[in-house]
Structure 1
Amino acid sequence: MKLVVRVKLLPTPEQAVALETTLHACNEAATWAARTAFEESARRPLELRKLTYRTIRERWKLGSQAAQHTIKKTCDAYATLAAGMRACRYGKPGSRRRERVSGKPIAFRAKAAQPYDDRMLSWQHEQRTVSIWTLSGRLKKLPFTGQAEQLVLLAASSRGESDLTCENGSWFLIATCEVSEAEFNGRPAGFLGVDLGIVNIAATSDGRRYSGRRTNRKRECDRKLRAKLQKKNTKSARRRAKRRVGKEARRNKDTNHKISKWIVAEAERTGRGIALEDLTGIRERARLRRPQRAALHSWPFAQLAAFIVYKAKRAGVPVVYVDPAYTSQECSECHHIARGNRPSQAVFACQVCGFVETADLNASHNIAYRGWMVWVCGAGSTVPELALGA
């Protein structure tokens, strides 16, 4: 399976200028190629290469490999846009947002990531340096650093492409590594149901809950502070706001990593699989009161599910996706479904058999049961390659 490792480059001021100049030129060329692809309806690499390759080499002085990757990056961006359109991520057909996105060519930020292959980038792991191509020539013995376990993984794994990117003045290489997987557990002893929510970010059928109260309070404080700084709009306020860019996203990502690690470790220890809800389109389907909307639309549920899937795949733990309909209204004992089974947000009380349980725990039991049915019946999953370990 493929994993990504991010290392931080430590360039001198002169080397940083060379990297920045290269990144700007590549993205300027990619924006021009995207405009050409839009005007000529050439979205495939071979078609676009015939129209743009020579001009990119001559106008922006890019090397052959850099020009090829720039063109491929443009085609990949249009492929991602087309997939988003099919999944209605930009609204329903005919909506204003969808027309606005599809009616103009893609544009790349000046510091958007640029892919590098083995011809443009080489690693010296013992010295912790890289040799990287730029418009000013090849930069050699450029030092890098990172977390110890990630550096070990980077040195021990075969590598594919790496992306050069700049974030808030810091330079990073994001390397794709091919790592071995654990033996897949094709005969799980059951499934660990995971219910995702707002009050409790995740609740498992074992009774463990990962509360989101503290995280939600911090997010609310962040939103109020951003609104205050935007309203003030002084030089110091803008400087303070700039320092806090991405802080909430990094905190959410760290929380999701911890939760997914605990869930996968428990499933691996007990020899079970993991059952998740298929929450595709949840933002369009959910009808919430105004105070809850920001919490739902800003928490990265898809990121948490993706972390669980890739960690489970690496550990050999099977993952299945189940239909989330009525999991919160269904009794996990008698399977009676009724809206009245939820007298409050936190409590489940079955109107037929009288079973009483915490709402999140009851839902996670239903998810675990549905996961076992999906596995036994061989029903399809929304992500079959990842979920069923193919």
Structure 2
Amino acid sequence: MKIVVQVKLMPEADQAPALSATLHSVNEAANWVSAVAFERGVPREYELRKHTYGELRARGLGSQAAQHTIKKVRDAYTTLKANIKAGNLGKPGSKRRTKAETKPVIFRPEAAQPYDDRCLSWQYDVQTVSIWTTAGRIKNVRFACSADALKTLREHRQGESDLVERDGVFYLVAVCEVPEAEPYEPGGFIGVDLGIVNIATTSSGYQAAGRGLNRHRKRQAGLRRKLQAKGTKSAKRLLKKRNRRETRHAANANHIIAKTIVTEAERTSSGISLEELKGIRQRVRLRKPWGHLPAEGWGRVALHSWAFAQLGDFIVYKAKRAGVPVVFVDPAYTSQQCCECGRIDKKNRASQALFTCRNCGVVAHADRNASRNIAQRGEAAWTAGRESRVPATP
């Protein structure tokens, strides 16, 4: 299983300008390669190398840096093509899709640049790296990370590492190949229902309320709005300083929720049943303001900016490391189906928080009822998959 470990570089005063200049140079070169690729109809990497490699070497890029730059450009066009095919950039003829199809891919001056072991070496004992730059190779660049991250790097680092600059701070993002634990046979399944009022509700009793996080995000949105309206230099500096703060806060919350769910499943020898995330933004409705959400407009912002997929990814990779089985199920009608009698009725959902079965009279929290339905479907899916793996009788 591949995971990434991020470390913070702490270069000396004479080292930082070389790192910054290197990123600017390779990304300026990448923009030139991108223009050549676009002009020639985005040829394959080998053919693109024939048209650009010599010029990149003349610009002062090393052999490996030139090849990584070409590969980075070709990968960017591959990703763009996949996004267009999947409809992520809109329908044919839409403004966004037309813009993407009619212009070369552009790289930011601080965009990530991949490094392999020929141009980047790690010294774990003293926590330093030796890295190639356009000004020559720089040695003894210190880095900082947690003890767990350092252990993961030392034992499992494989492949490339990306150098990236964010707000004047340099980071290395290293790829690590971590072995997956052998999954056990679950004694049951914990269903996880995702939402906004309650970010995650499990059939085992855990509930991660979204009140605090939504309050934090609403406050951040208000501060951004005020600073943008002010428009002064100091306001712009504050906006830049606060950049990505909300993203980091939400990611930290997702990590905590995912770890809690996986730890509970591992402790009880249970599997985890997750709902398929495709179409979740269409299934979650905002016809009325929800409880603590002050207005429908803010509810829509909360819906379309919440990282549902990130939370699911965190649960999956933490479960794989712990050997916890995970299944995905269709969540259709789980909020309208009674977990006791199985009756599906739209009127069963009395309100956002209350579920009352019109057939058997069960009264429960709506999200808890949905999580129990997801758990039951997960157990059924696991049983069906296990039976399909049994060898046929000769």
Return the TM-score normalized by structure 1.
0.93
Q: CA deviation at 1:228?
A: 0.7
Specify the alignment match of 1:376 in structure 2.
Answer: 383
Q: CA deviation at 1:43?
A: 4.7
Specify the alignment match of 1:299 in structure 2.
Answer: 306
Specify the alignment match of 1:99 in structure 2.
Answer: 98
Of residues 146, 167, 189, the one that matches 1:191 is 189
The 5 Å alignment of 1:1-390 reads 1-58=1-58, 60-185=59-184, 187-283=185-281, 286-289=284-287, 290-378=297-385
Q: Gaps spanning 5+ residues in structure 1: where?
A: 380-390
Specify the alignment match of 1:382 in structure 2.
Answer: none
Q: CA deviation at 1:111?
A: 0.3
- Deviates further, 299-308 or 228-237: 228-237
Q: Secondary structure of 1:8's partner?
A: strand
- Provide the identity percentage: 58
Classify 1:315/1:341 alpha carbon distance in 2 versus 1 (closer, same or farther; 3 Å): same
Classify 1:19/1:318 alpha carbon distance in 2 versus 1 (closer, same or farther; 3 Å): same
Q: CA deviation at 1:269?
A: 1.4
Specify the alignment match of 1:387 in structure 2.
Answer: none
Q: Distance in 2 between matches of 1:50 and 1:367?
A: 54
Q: Distance in 2 between matches of 1:23 and 1:152?
A: 28
Q: CA deviation at 1:48?
A: 1.8
- Deviates further, 224-233 or 234-243: 234-243
Paired residues of 1:123 and 1:129 also in contact (CA < 8 A): yes
CA RMSD of aligned residues (A): 1.6
CA offsets, 1:53-97, max 9 Å, x none?
222222x21111111111111121122222222332222344332
Classify 1:95/1:325 alpha carbon distance in 2 versus 1 (closer, same or farther; 3 Å): farther
Q: Distance in 1 between matches of 2:210 and 2:284?
A: 19
CA offsets, 1:302-343, max 9 Å, x none?
111111111111111121111122111111112222211111
Q: Distance in 1 between matches of 2:86 and 2:376?
A: 28
Q: Distance in 1 between matches of 2:117 and 2:234?
A: 44
Q: Secondary structure of 2:132's partner?
A: strand
Classify 1:367/1:181 alpha carbon distance in 2 versus 1 (closer, same or farther; 3 Å): same
Paired residues of 1:43 and 1:78 also in contact (CA < 8 A): no
Q: CA deviation at 1:52?
A: 1.7
Q: Distance in 1 between matches of 2:147 and 2:169?
A: 19
Q: CA deviation at 1:286?
A: 5.0
Q: CA deviation at 1:13?
A: 2.2
Q: Distance in 1 between matches of 2:238 and 2:303?
A: 27
Q: Distance in 2 between matches of 1:280 and 1:106?
A: 28
Classify 1:93/1:376 alpha carbon distance in 2 versus 1 (closer, same or farther; 3 Å): farther
Q: Secondary structure of 1:378's partner?
A: helix
Q: CA deviation at 1:287?
A: 4.6
Q: Secondary structure of 2:15's partner?
A: helix
Q: Distance in 1 between matches of 2:359 and 2:92?
A: 43
Q: Distance in 1 between matches of 2:346 and 2:261?
A: 29
Q: CA deviation at 1:254?
A: 0.5
Return the TM-score normalized by structure 2.
0.92
Q: Gaps spanning 5+ residues in structure 2: where?
A: 288-296, 387-394
Q: Distance in 2 between matches of 1:356 and 1:285?
A: 23
Q: Which residue type is aligned with residue 46 of structure 1?
A: Y
CA offsets, 1:250-277, max 9 Å, x none?
1001000111111111111111211111
Q: Which residue type is aligned with residue 292 of structure 1?
A: G
Classify 1:231/1:364 alpha carbon distance in 2 versus 1 (closer, same or farther; 3 Å): same
Classify 1:286/1:196 alpha carbon distance in 2 versus 1 (closer, same or farther; 3 Å): closer
